[in-house]
Chain A
Amino acid sequence: MLPDAERLCGALAESLRPGLPPDTALVGIHTGGVWVAERLHAALGLKTPLGRLDVSFYRDDFSRSGLHPQIKSSDIPFEVNDRPIIIVDDVLYTGRTIRAAMNEIFDYGRPARVDLAVLIDRGGRELPICPRWTAQALQVEPGRNLQLERGEAGILTLRLIDA
């Protein structure tokens, strides 16, 4: 039985709230991370508009697997220099996506600090990356993907599929 993604979003927002600097910017990673970041942004009432990243151009497996066919535009609608930034993703696994996201953010400027908030940490890290906030840790066998999906009514749910 997988946890309720909407409940996890709410819990994640509450864990972020204490002591959050008012100029903090959230950056969601396409596609699931953006959905979670939208929830957090609304729940926390942040003034800085939400940023969105598609890290396809920064992935380390480009020379092996090429470009994903449907790349979205990255959109960072705020000044990055000297701002605290929280990267938001749905499922943290190897850490390679987060490495790519950090590289991309630094091409927009030099943030004051960068933190990471994730809905699910499924372990299996291949890089020294550790989230500051995790809604839930969950063991998932290798060879299976844990995915966040958005239904017609906009409700977020988690689903396990074979990779």
Chain B
Amino acid sequence: MRNPQLNRNGGLQHLLTIDGLPPEILTAILDTAAPFTEVAEREVKKLPLLRGKSVFNLFFESSTRTRTTFEIAAKRLSADVINLNISTSSTSKGETLLDTVDNLSAMQADMFVVRHASSGAPFLIAQHLAAMGLEHIHVINAGDGRHAHPTQGLLDMYTIRHYKQSFANLVVAIVGDVLHSRVARSQIHALIALGVPEVRVIGPKTLIPTDVDKLGVRVFHDMRAGLRDVDVVMMLRLQNERMQGALLPSPQEFFKYYGLTADKLECARPDAIVMHPGPMNRGVEIDSAVADGPHAVILPQVTFGIAVRMAVMSMLAGG
């Protein structure tokens, strides 16, 4: 069976997950994103690539940063952007996901950017579009359940490559709530596909999925040991809204053992960079002194995210 994310020519048809994408495609996305960063410095911050195309932002789960950066990316490519706030629309009146998709397809949609609390929802939409013969419509996963958040993973890779030039000799640590994190899954798949020799995950036993080592990562429950000599620290947000049951004693205790402080960061390499996908819980997973400190590249991540999303959208539309 053909990879559902690729078209007949091996180009990108949908972006649903990083898992299973050839490394050449990942590298092509990062390479394509680079010239888009320059557009932000122009008087007219617009390129004509998606002129006349309609991009529908389908957010079944709330998000500010991701939805906004997708919106900016699409608008800088001259697309028409339609934001659907689903919690106040038809789904709450009982319409199914695929009926919503059919209706929007009938409105000549060219691209769906989908965020959904259920893992696999964007895949279901892509499959449905193929079954309906609507292969000109592309789907971008903007985060589905605990499964994947591929554009976040890609913008993180772009950020790492920007500061470290190459992936070849890096030690990268992902810290915190890996269990609930679709971001962590996308990061791990991307780091390994791009050839990072050592990927570590750090967190309490209750927040690290069992079998995560089968993805090729090293697991640490002691943060200082895990941060020893790392080049890149990727913090995760503690996902309070996804917690069920007593996985954690308290946020304060989490901060004591797994919060990134200047003191713990000293275990990493002196030129280590600190990343966070946002929104940050200051004083829970990261100390303000680190979040605003010289190692943090958290705001550049947001800026690079626009260029990476522009690259993905143009590769889909031009494929």
Contact = CB atoms under 8 A, between A and B. Distances in A.
B42 A108 contact: yes
Interface size class of B (residues with CB under 8 A): 20 to 34
A80 B32 CA distance: 25
B44 interface: yes
A72 B35 contact: yes
A43 interface: no
Interface of B: 11, 28, 31-32, 34-35, 37-39, 42-44, 46-49, 314-315, 317-319
Given A57-B48, A58-B48, A62-B318, A109 B43 contact: yes
A73 B317 CA distance: 20
Nearest to B315: A67
Interface of A: 54, 56-58, 62-63, 65-67, 69-75, 80, 103, 106-109
B39 to A, nearest CB: 8
A57 B43 contact: no
Nearest to B27: A69
Contacts of B11: 66
A73 B307 CA distance: 12
A109 B41 CA distance: 12
A70 B48 CA distance: 18
Contacts of A106: 44
Contacts of B42: 107-108
A107 B318 contact: no
B32 A67 contact: yes
Given A69-B28, A108-B42, A103 B48 contact: yes
B318 A65 contact: yes
Given A62-B318, A73-B37, 11 more contacts: A56-B35, A69-B31, A73-B34, A73-B38, A75-B38, A106-B44, A107-B43, A107-B46, A108-B43, A108-B44, A109-B43
A53 to B, nearest CB: 11
Contacts of A56: 35
19 contacts: A54-B35, A56-B35, A57-B39, A57-B48, A63-B317, A66-B318, A66-B319, A67-B32, A69-B31, A69-B32, A71-B32, A73-B34, A73-B38, A75-B38, A103-B48, A107-B42, A107-B46, A108-B42, A108-B43
A160 to B, nearest CB: 29
A72 B34 CA distance: 8
* Chain A to chain B: the 8 pairs with minimum beta-carbon distance, closest first: A66-B318, A107-B44, A73-B35, A57-B47, A73-B38, A71-B35, A67-B318, A62-B318
Nearest to A61: B318
Contacts of A74: 35, 38
B49 to A, nearest CB: 6
Contacts of B37: 73
Contacts of A109: 43
Given A107-B43, A107-B44, A57 B35 contact: yes
